[in-house]
């Protein structure tokens, strides 16, 4: 027996909110994922964990409620969040495009800063003289 339509939609949207909160807590923010190394193994692992947990929660809620709307909306949210996280993990921070080769950016390139060897002297006027 399915829920009434007005109740079903509310529970489905609440389930989508639960999926979003699972991804928000289990994975880094999308902005942080996009500036990381493309294809980061840790981010991919947390994405997979979030996907399995969210899919289990959606399945459980829809089976308890015996309502297909909850499964469709919740499952669509799992797919959308998984794709969004997976896409962000493939974007190179240098080109802002999906990296075809995950070795395009090395950690040395991302963290390279000019070395201060003491040779730089700022051009500041001496007002004390």
pLDDT tens by residue, 70-124: 999 999 999 999 999 999 998 888 777 777 665 555 555 555 555 566 666 667 6
d(CA 47, CA 27): 6
Q: Is residue 57 part of a domain?
A: yes
Largest CA distance in the chain: 91
0.85 exceeded by pTM: no
Domain contains 121: no
pLDDT at position 50, please?
Answer: 95
| Residue 63 falls inside a structural domain | yes
CA angle 30, 34, 35 (to 5 degrees): 125
Structure tokens at 43: 């981010």
CB-based contact 33:68 (threshold 8 Å): no
Yes or no: say if 68 and 62 are a contact pair by the CB < 8 Å rule. yes
112 domain-assigned: no
Q: Residue range 44-66: average pLDDT?
A: 94
**Does 118 reside within a domain?**
no
* 115 belongs to a structural domain: no
Question: Which domain does 74 fall in, by range?
Answer: 9-98
Residue 104 located in a structural domain: no
Instruction: Please give the tally of structural domains in the chain.
Output: 1
Q: In the prediction, which pLDDT does 3 show?
A: 75
Residue 44 lies in a domain: yes
Predicted pLDDT at 111: 57
């Amino acid at each position: 027996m399915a829920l009434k339509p007005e109740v079903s939609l509310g529970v489905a949207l609440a389930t989508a909110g639960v999926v979003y909160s699972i991804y928000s807590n289990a994975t880094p923010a999308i902005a942080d994922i996009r500036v990381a190394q493309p294809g980061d193994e840790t981010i991919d692992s947390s994405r997979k964990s979030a996907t399995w947990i969210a899919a289990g929660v959606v399945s459980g809620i829809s089976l308890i409620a015996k309502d297909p709307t909850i499964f469709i909306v919740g499952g669509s949210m799992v797919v959308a969040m998984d794709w969004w996280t997976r896409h962000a993990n493939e974007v190179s921070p240098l080109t802002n495009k999906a990296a075809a080769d995950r070795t395009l950016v090395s950690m040395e390139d991302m963290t390279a800063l000019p070395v201060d060897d003491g040779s730089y002297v700022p051009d500041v006027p001496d007002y004390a003289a």
